[in-house]
Amino acid sequence: MAEDQLYGERTITPDAAQRLLARAAALDAEPAGTLSVVQLSEIALEAGISPAAMEGALREHATSKQPVPAWVRATLFGVPDRATALRFYWIFVAGLCASPLLMRLNVRPATGALLSLGVAAICFGALWSTSRAVAWFDRHGWQRLP
């Protein structure tokens, strides 16, 4: 069956036309992989999009960042960047490793054990949350919180 007979003079709503054109553009771009900004601008111009609108969309895309989750902000409260967060991570590792030594240094065994367990728990929690926050930084390509 020919395409003319299949589709005929059917009308298409603007919403459906936009989706069809977007899908056709996606199918057309698949073999090429990525597009340069110049290629994308040429495609937009051919599609009837003004250069000013395309420039605005490119500017918005370049400055947009995913919002930082509250748990990342809380974990890194007072920490300015990823490098400092990693330094704190290693401090927490040292604290976790040193916590058994507190038991040896303290004269009273019961108090020393509680102190050692408390330091270990705090360091473990801080270590875990800091490692998760640094991993979030890495996934999103950030070096510093906005």
Residue range 114-146, pLDDT digits in tens = 666 777 788 788 888 888 888 888 877 777 776
Mean pLDDT of the 5-23 span: 76
Angle at 14 between CA 13 and CA 16, to 5 degrees: 65
What is the pTM assigned to this prediction?
Answer: 0.45
One domain, residues 82 and 36: no
- Based on the domain organization, do 74 and 136 belong to the same domain? yes
Q: What percent of the chain has pLDDT over 90?
A: 0
Give the model confidence (pLDDT) of 59-81 as tens digits: 776 666 667 888 888 888 888 88
Domain hosting residue 14, numbered range: 3-63
- Are residues 95 and 120 both part of a single domain? yes
Residue 144 backbone phi and psi in degrees, to 5: -150, 145
Residues 134 and 90 in one domain: yes
Q: How many domains does the chain have?
A: 2
Residue 97: predicted pLDDT = 79
Same domain flag for 81 and 113: yes
The verdict on residue 146 lying in a domain is no
Please write down the HEC assignment for all residues of the chain. Answer: CCHHHHHCCCCCCHHHHHHHHHHHHHHHHCCCCCCCHHHHHHHHHHCCCCHHHHHHHHHHHHHCCCCCCHHHHHHCCCCCEHHHHHHHHHHHHHHHHHHHHHHHHCCCHHHHHHHHHHHHHHHHHHHHHHHHHHHHHHHHCCCECC
